[in-house]
């Protein structure tokens, strides 16, 4: 009995640091991505086919996956993508990964759901430049696909069902188990000392006031240029720079954008809605200058960049 | 045997008549009762669903206030809960709108749902503004201690008039302390104290030469002190606007059993 009690005490003592680490992790302003997501696998399978299907675009020139590259963290590795009619887009393609954790979609929050994004993408002259009538007609010519689709969506092919299928798939594209998430779940050795120091800097400089939650952002709006006029300094101001103002027409929303998620940020260069920062170092410099009102000390910036690298999770695999 | 007299016949006739009348009245009552049970059955079901959605909205609305207040107090350091709550409110509103479009024998329902949507949209806008302003305040409050440490480090290591550096350091410490107090007690007295402390620091910085090593650091501190002064009242006003939002009143007025 005494031995047993002593054993329990020893075990409790041994586990105490783990418990403390766990308790501390629970209080962190960044939360780990859930390890599983609920989804209808039949809809997801259809959505996956459609995500890579060029028939959604005019001239069957491009698919969702053309701009949301799996090898680039779900983003596009250049400033702007080119649409089905050869026109360049006016904002950088945001990542298609972890969109399930965004409170609204797109840079200015112009879509309340992933379905709305798909609707906009299909009809936008800068992307698929198509119409739903054209898309449905092209898909309907494929009897086998139509039949399979009807088995899952009895109402058949239409704008709502096609958008929903793609969105169902899109919402499963999450990147759990990043080294930082493992650290948050109690695996203290998952990140290095420097990366942890970078996280402390990230909190100390206040970055975490906006970049928080499961998606390390993606759950609020903020003005780009709280402490300085980014757009005046950058020059060549474009209508897209007005951000959320373009959605609401409210003066207070001028230059306001959704705070982007920093998940997989090491893979998603270039950065910002204008794709103006080619590297993470540059992006951190811009944030220090315009959101904090001071330059970034070189060593601290380096540590923060190292920390950001720990946010890269397990990447979804593109079908072969 | 008793012979049937005209009196008895008349009485029997009256009894039959009374019985027939009672039967007729009972049948009429049954018809009315049956009619009122069957005919509006669809309406009652719609009303019950509407009632349950309104109760759900009331719960979510109350929870939304708690989420916002938790963020306001710093008990929750993320905005995920607030964002999730908004999605559930939207889902309940969409379900109500779908119900209203079916009619369900309540012609006023669509109008009441439109009013509900409007007040919830207005509340959502205020919540978004709150998040933006509060995050700026949180950023400055978090960063002020770092900025203060940096400025102290430069002042301590600096050259020149030690007395002046000591005075600047004391002014800096007082301002930082007042900022933290103001973050906790956001009343007018404390705001005045922070305002005065910020002014003193501003004057101390103005007296420094541009070449003074601590000047740049102290200017950064001043910027964030000003941010706290500007943002704190905004954040508190937004918090008040959120909890005072008329959503609850409009929800009560929207109940099917409320007098319309």
Per-residue pLDDT tens digits of chain A, which is 320 residues long = 344 444 444 444 444 444 444 444 458 999 999 999 999 999 999 999 999 999 999 999 999 999 999 999 999 999 999 999 999 999 999 999 999 999 999 999 999 999 999 999 999 999 999 999 999 999 999 999 999 999 999 999 999 999 999 999 999 999 999 999 999 999 999 999 999 999 999 999 999 999 999 999 999 999 999 999 999 999 999 999 999 999 999 999 999 999 999 999 999 999 999 999 999 999 999 999 999 999 999 999 999 999 999 999 999 999 97
Residue in A211, A279, A86, A112 with CA at minimum distance from that of residue B77: A211
Shortest distance, CA B154 to any CA of chain A (angstroms): 14
Q: Comparing C-alpha atoms, which of A91, A50, A92, A59 is closest to residue A73?
A: A92
Confidence of residue B133 (pLDDT cuts 50, 70, 90): very high
Query: Under an 8 A CB cutoff, do A292 and B139 touch?
Result: yes
CA B189 – CA B208 distance, rounded (Å): 29
Q: Whole-angstrom Cα distance, residue B78 to residue A56? A: 37
More confident residue, B23 or B35: B23
CA-nearest residue to A250 within chain B is B125
* Sole residue written with tokens 């006023």: B108
- Please indicate whether, in this complex, the C-beta atoms of B142 and A205 are within 8 angstroms of each other: yes
H helix or E strand, kind and range, residue A216: none
Greater confidence (B219 vs A13) lies with B219
Tell me which residue of A287, A225, A269 sits closest to A92, measured CA to CA.
A269
Q: Do A219 and B80 touch (CB under 8 A)?
A: yes
Interchain CB distance below 8 Å, B128 and A222? no
Using CA atoms, how far apart are residues B84 and A38, in angstroms rounded to an integer?
Answer: 16
Cis status, amide bond into B253, omega within 30 of 0? no
When CB atoms are compared, the residue of A213, A252, A293 closest to B220 is: A293
Q: How far apart are CA B168 and CA B152, in angstroms?
A: 9
Q: Which residues 6+ apart lie within 8 Å of B164 measured at CB?
A: B207
Burial class (CB in 10 A: 0-12, 13-18, 19+), B6: exposed
Distance from CA of A42 to the nearest CA of B (A): 23
CA B255 to chain centre: 20
The pTM is what?
A: 0.87
Q: What are the CA-CA distances from residue A205 to residues A4, A245, B147, B169 (Å)?
A: 49, 28, 9, 21
Distance CA A181, CA B242 (A): 33
pLDDT-derived band of residue B22, with 50, 70 and 90 as boundaries? Answer: low
User: Quick check: B230 contacting A, CB < 8 Å?
Assistant: no
- How many Å apart are CA A310 and CA A192, to the nearest integer? 9
Residue of A nearest to B143 (CA): A205
Interface test with A, best of B75, B77, B121, B130 (most A CBs within 10 A): B77
Give the pLDDT confidence score for residue B260 in this predicted structure. 59
Nearest CA in chain B to A252: B129
Q: Using CB atoms, pick whichever of B128, B139, B220 lies closest to residue A206.
A: B139
Q: Which of B177, B191, B187 is nearest to B144 (CA)?
A: B177
Q: At what angle do helices B188-207 and B162-184 cross, to 10 degrees?
A: 160
DSSP, collapsed to helix, strand or coil, labels residue A30 as: strand
Note whether B57 and B99 are within 8 A (CB): no
Tokens of B113: 């749902």
Comparing CB atoms, the residue among B132, B147, B220 nearest residue A221 is B132
Q: What is the pLDDT of residues B37-70, one digit of tens each?
A: 434 445 688 888 989 999 999 999 999 999 999 9
Interface test with B, best of A101, A102, A206, A212 (most B CBs within 10 A): A206
Two structure tokens written together for B49: 């669903």
- Picking from B82, B128, B135, the nearest residue to A209 by CB comes out as B135
Q: Say whether residue A292 is in contact with chain B using an 8 A CB cutoff.
A: yes
Q: Given this model, what pLDDT does residue A27 score?
A: 82
Question: What per-residue confidence (pLDDT) applies to B5?
Answer: 53
Is the CB of residue B132 less than 8 Å away from at least one CB of chain A? yes
Q: Please measure the distance between the N-terminal and C-terminal CA atoms of chain B and give it in whole angstroms.
A: 67
CA distance B175 to chain A (A): 19
Considering CB atoms only, which of A29, A222, A256 is closest to B77? A29
The pLDDT value given to residue B230: 97
Q: Does A219 touch chain B (CB under 8 A)?
A: yes
Q: Count of alpha carbons within 13 Å of A297, Cβ hemisphere only?
A: 12
Please give the sequence-ordered ranges of beta strands (E in DSSP) within chain A, or none if there are none. Answer: 221-223, 256-258
Tokens at B141, concatenated:
């409050």
**B60: nearest Cα among B112, B124, B132, B106:** B124
List the one residue out of A76, A87, A75 whose CA is nearest residue A125.
A87
Kindly tell me if the per-residue pLDDT of B203 is higher than 90.
yes
pLDDT band, residue B34 (cuts 50/70/90): very low
Instruction: Please report residues of A whose CB lies closer than 8 A to that of B83.
Output: 103, 213, 219-220
Residues written for chain A: 320
pLDDT at B4 over 50: no
Give how far B250 is from chain A: nearest CA, Å: 24
Residue with tokens 């979609």: A105
């Amino acid at each position: 009995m005494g031995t047993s009690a002593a054993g329990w005490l020893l075990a409790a003592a041994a586990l105490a640091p783990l418990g403390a680490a766990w308790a501390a992790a629970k209080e962190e302003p960044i939360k780990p991505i859930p390890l599983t997501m609920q989804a209808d696998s039949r809809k997801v399978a259809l959505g996956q086919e459609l995500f890579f299907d060029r028939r959604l675009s005019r001239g069957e020139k491009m698919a969702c996956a053309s701009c949301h590259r799996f090898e680039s963290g779900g983003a596009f590795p250049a400033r702007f993508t080119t649409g089905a009619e050869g026109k360049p887009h006016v904002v950088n393609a945001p990542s298609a990964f972890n969109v399930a954790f965004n409170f609204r979609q797109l840079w200015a929050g112009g879509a309340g759901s992933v379905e709305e994004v798909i609707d906009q993408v299909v009809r936008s002259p800068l992307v698929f430049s198509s119409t739903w009538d054209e898309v449905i007609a092209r898909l309907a010519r494929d009897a086998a696909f139509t039949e399979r689709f009807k088995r899952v969506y009895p109402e058949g092919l239409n704008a709502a069902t096609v958008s929903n299928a793609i969105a169902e798939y899109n919402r499963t594209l999450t990147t759990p188990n990043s080294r930082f998430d493992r650290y948050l779940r109690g695996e203290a050795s998952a990140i290095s000392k420097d990366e942890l120091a970078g996280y402390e800097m990230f909190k100390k400089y206040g970055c975490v006031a906006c970049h928080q939650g499961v998606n390390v952002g993606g759950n609020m709006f903020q003005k780009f240029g709280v402490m300085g006029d980014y757009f005046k300094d950058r020059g060549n101001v474009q209508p897209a720079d007005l951000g959320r103002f373009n959605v609401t027409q409210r003066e207070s929303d001028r230059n306001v954008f959704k705070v982007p998620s920093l998940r997989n940020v090491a893979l998603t260069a270039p950065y910002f809605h204008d794709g103006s920062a080619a590297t993470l170092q540059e992006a951190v410099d811009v944030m220090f200058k315009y959101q904090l009102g001071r330059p970034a000390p070189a060593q601290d910036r380096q540590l923060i960049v190292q920390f950001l690298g720990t946010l890269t999770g397990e990447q979804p695999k593109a079908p072969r | 045997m008793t012979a049937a007299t005209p009196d008895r016949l008349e009485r029997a006739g009256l009894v039959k008549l009374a019985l027939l009348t009672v039967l007729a009245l009972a049948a009429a009552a049954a018809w009315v009762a049956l009619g009122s049970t069957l005919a509006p059955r669809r309406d009652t079901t719609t009303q019950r669903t509407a009632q349950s959605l309104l109760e759900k909205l009331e719960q979510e609305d109350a929870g939304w206030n708690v989420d916002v207040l938790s963020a306001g107090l710093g008990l929750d350091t993320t905005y995920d809960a607030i964002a999730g709550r908004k999605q559930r409110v939207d889902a309940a509103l969409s379900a109500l709108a779908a119900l209203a479009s079916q009619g369900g024998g309540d012609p006023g329902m669509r109008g009441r749902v439109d009013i509900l949507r409007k007040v919830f949209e207005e509340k959502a806008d205020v919540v978004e503004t709150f998040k933006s302003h509060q995050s700026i305040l949180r950023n400055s409050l978090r960063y002020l201690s770092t900025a203060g440490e940096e400025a102290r480090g430069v002042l301590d290591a600096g050259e020149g008039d030690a007395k002046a550096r000591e005075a600047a350091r004391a002014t800096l410490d007082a301002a930082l302390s007042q900022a933290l107090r103001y973050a906790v007690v956001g009343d007018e007295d404390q705001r005045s104290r922070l305002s005065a402390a910020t002014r003193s620091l501003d004057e101390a910085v103005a007296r420094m030469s541009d070449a003074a090593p601590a000047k740049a650091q102290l200017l950064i501190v001043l910027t964030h002190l000003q941010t706290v002064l500007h943002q704190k009242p905004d954040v508190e006003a937004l918090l008040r606007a959120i909890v005072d939002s008329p959503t609850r009143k409009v929800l009560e007025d929207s109940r099917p059993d409320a007098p319309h």
